[in-house]
Amino acid sequence: MTNTIDRRRLLATAVLGGAGIVGATALGSLVPEAAFAADPVDVEPGAVDPNFAEGRITGISGATLFVTGSDTVLHSIRVTDGTSIWKLQPTTFDRIAVGDGLYARGLRLADGTLAADAIWVDIVNVHAHLTNLGRNVMHLDHRGQPIVAHVIPGVTAAVYNGTPAVSDVSLLKVGQHVQVIGAWHPDTNEIDVATVYAAVQ
Amino acid sequence: MLQFIAALQPLVIGAVLIWSARVKLSRRQAAANASRSALAPLIGERRALPAYRVLGVVELAIGILLVLPPALAVEAAAATALAAGFTAYLYYAHTHAPDASCGCMSSRRTPVSWRGFARAGLLVVAGLFATLVPAGWPHAFATNAPAGGGLLLAELALVITLSPELDGEWLLPLRRLRARLTHPLTGGTGVPLLSTVQQLQQSPAYRQVASALTSDVREHWDEGEWRFVSQSARYRGRPAVAVFAAPLDGYQPEAVRVAVLDDATGVTVFASGSAADPPFRAYAGG
């Protein structure tokens, strides 16, 4: 916790140009990973992108995630100090659990491991119709399948007519078409809403 | 007092019966109602409509007799018998044809519920009351018109409340009004992270370092009027962290600032507005 605060103070000072440059010790040890030394790989058109992986997490060992892709391909994904982890919002490694789905982007190492730059856990993107509204809950119809979408106050954002995001979700009306980016509750038809896109009058 | 209340009961029962008869005798709705009601399984599909009409005529007759003076105990007794018959019919419908409509007071399809029983029970009690204490309503009104009017309105309101068929007329609009006044999704406050990220992505500062960024947002925090967002980056082939500061108030992409710090040493290697090499050139050159 103290580390986090120190680190944030350092970063804030650097960007706002306050007290100037601070020494290395405040940052703690962040060993450069082999991933960051490798050059990006160019992908042939139509070929599988080696720097991307998706699937369900079947095991976690240390900082490595074992993932089975939806095409049954097995991936091992290495999480580093520089990996961003999203699960409804930017979060930390300890929030990842076996059973979660994920999309990961990074660099494929020589041993086949994907050193992840960014991981999006349980992320879903659905187009649906709003069939009902409850207290902080939206009932969606996605091609005939019901989805229960939870609105999380303080986290959920709404984008109306493509304007900058706001936290007021209350302009939504039953019957509307919406696009929802959210975090799936694994093995249910429920999601938490990160962003809802809608057109309003 | 008791006599006063009892004197007004025939009016209430009469009004309910006439309303109910209106639905049963109306030409367009009656046939459909009869076939959907629990009468069809009770006495047969073919006899349901005539029975439904006869019931309507009886209701209308008793209702008119009740409303018009003079007040006779026998009228109230007939109404009580009718209400008791309704209760029995409801019980039959509830136990033998739970999906069938009650067919009572409206063409709206409404299965039998506790509200239907409560309404029938109310009519039975009112009828009994009027039978046991016969009194004419014109006389009661003459003694205390405001109290009589209030009591009548209250009883009719109670009957309406207990009528699921009439929910569409008052309960639904009320619920819609409540939903409009207190939207169920109200309560979101503050600046969402997405708004800050959108602001970042449109800022000159982001454009300067975008090609050096490797990760999505790693962490974010607020301090005073600034929101800080950090992302992983690579600077001269070394891991670095890019930290952005965006104003919390308003949408001003030009005000966004950025600094890039070497991950290992914590040294600021680039800051927006500084004279250092733009990171994209450093990155491209390896």
CATH number of the domain enclosing A159: 2.40.50.140
Best B178, B183, B185 member to test A by mutation, with max A CBs in 10 Å, is: B185
**Inside any domain, residue A15:** yes
**Inside any domain, residue A178:** yes
Span B145-159, average pLDDT: 87
Structure tokens at A46: 């139509």
One domain, residues A114 and A144? no
Q: What is the pLDDT of residue B211?
A: 86
Structure tokens at A88: 């409804």
By the 8 A CB rule, do A109 and A35 touch? yes
Question: Of the residues A59, A92, A121, which one is the last residue of a structural domain?
Answer: A121
Q: What is the pLDDT of residue A23?
A: 37
Q: Of the spans B31-35, B98-102, B146-150, B240-244, which averages the highest pLDDT?
A: B240-244
Question: Which CB contacts under 8 angstroms, 24+ apart, belong to B246-251?
Answer: B246/B196, B246/B199, B246/B200, B246/B203, B248/B191, B248/B196, B248/B222, B249/B225, B251/A164, B251/B195, B251/B199
Rounded to 5 degrees, φ, ψ at A17 are 65, 45
One domain, residues A153 and A181? yes
**Inside any domain, residue A173:** yes
pLDDT digit string (tens) for B252-267? 888 999 999 988 888 8
Q: What is the pLDDT of residue A114?
A: 94
Question: Which residues in chain A have their CB less than 8 angstroms from residue B219's CB?
Answer: 8, 90
Question: Of the residues A80, A105, A121, which one is the last residue of a structural domain?
Answer: A121
pLDDT band at A37; cut points 50, 70, 90: very low
Span B47-63, average pLDDT: 84
**Inside any domain, residue A41:** no
Predicted TM-score (pTM) above 0.80: no
- Among candidates B187, B221, B266 on the partner chain, residue whose Cβ is nearest the Cβ of A10: B266
Closest CA to B235 of B261, B256, B205: B261
Q: How far apart are CA B128 and CA B137, in angstroms?
A: 16
**Would you say residue B279 has pLDDT above 50?**
no
**Would you say residue A40 has pLDDT above 60?**
no
Question: Of the residues A103, A121, A139, which one is the last residue of a structural domain?
Answer: A121
CB pair distance less than 8 Å for B263 and A30: yes
pLDDT digit string (tens) for A51-86? 999 999 999 999 999 999 999 999 999 999 889 999
- Among candidates B186, B258, B267 on the partner chain, residue whose Cβ is nearest the Cβ of A170: B186
* Amino acid in position A125: N
Span B203-208, average pLDDT: 90
pLDDT band at B105; cut points 50, 70, 90: low
CB pair distance less than 8 Å for A16 and B265: no
Structure tokens at A57: 């997490």
Residue of chain A whose alpha carbon sits nearest to that of B258:
A15
Q: Of the spans A9-18, A105-114, B52-61, B145-154, which averages the highest pLDDT?
A: A105-114
The residue among B122 and B42 whose pLDDT is bigger is: B122
Mean pLDDT check: name the lowest of B11-20, B24-33, B72-81, B276-285. B276-285
B237: which DSSP letter?
T
One domain, residues A80 and A145? no
pLDDT digit string (tens) for A99-115? 999 999 999 999 999 99
Span B141-155, average pLDDT: 84
Q: What integer best gives the mean pLDDT of chain B?
A: 81
**Would you say residue A2 has pLDDT above 80?**
no
CB pair distance less than 8 Å for A136 and B187: yes
**Inside any domain, residue A43:** no
Residue of chain A whose alpha carbon sits nearest to that of B198:
A164
Question: Which residues in chain B have their CB less than 8 angstroms from residue A118's CB?
Answer: 214-216
Q: What is the pLDDT of residue A100?
A: 95
Question: Which residues in chain B have their CB less than 8 angstroms from residue A21's CB?
Answer: 267-268
pLDDT band at B102; cut points 50, 70, 90: low
- The count of C-alpha atoms lying within 13 angstroms of the C-alpha of A119, restricted to the half-sphere facing its C-beta, is 30
**Would you say residue A41 has pLDDT above 70?**
no
- CA dist list (Å): A198 to A156, A160, A166, B180, B276: 13, 5, 12, 18, 43
One domain, residues A191 and A132? yes
**Would you say residue A127 has pLDDT above 90?**
yes
Q: What residue numbers bound the domain in which A147 lies?
A: 123-198
Distance from CA of B66 to the nearest CA of A (A): 46
Q: What is the DSSP string of chain A?
A: -HHHHHHHHHHHHHHHT-S----GGGG---PPPHHHHSPPPPPPTTS--TTEEEEEEEEEETTEEEEE-TTS-EEEEEEEEEEEEEESEEE-GGG--TT-EEEEEEEE-TTS-EEEEEEEESEEEEEEEEEEEETTEEEEEETTEEEEEEE-TTT-EEEETTPPPBS--TT--TT-EEEEEEEE-TTSSEEEEEEEEE---
pLDDT digit string (tens) for A3-36? 778 888 888 888 887 544 443 333 333 333 333 3
Residue of chain B whose alpha carbon sits nearest to that of A81:
B232
Q: What is the pLDDT of residue B146?
A: 85
Span B168-177, average pLDDT: 84
**Would you say residue B65 has pLDDT above 60?**
yes
CB pair distance less than 8 Å for B261 and A27: yes
One domain, residues A97 and A152? no
Question: Which residues in chain B have their CB less than 8 angstroms from residue A17's CB?
Answer: 257, 259, 271, 273
Work out the number of other CB atoms within 10 angstroms of the CB of residue A120: 19
Q: What is the pLDDT of residue A52?
A: 92
Span B276-282, average pLDDT: 43
Q: What integer best gives the mean pLDDT of chain A?
A: 85
Q: How many domains does chain A have?
A: 3
Residue of chain A whose alpha carbon sits nearest to that of B224:
A12
Span B113-122, average pLDDT: 85
- Among candidates B187, B259, B267 on the partner chain, residue whose Cβ is nearest the Cβ of A24: B267
Distance from CA of A64 to the nearest CA of B (A): 18
Residue holding tokens 């076996």?
A98
**Would you say residue B144 has pLDDT above 90?**
no
* Amino acid in position B251: Y
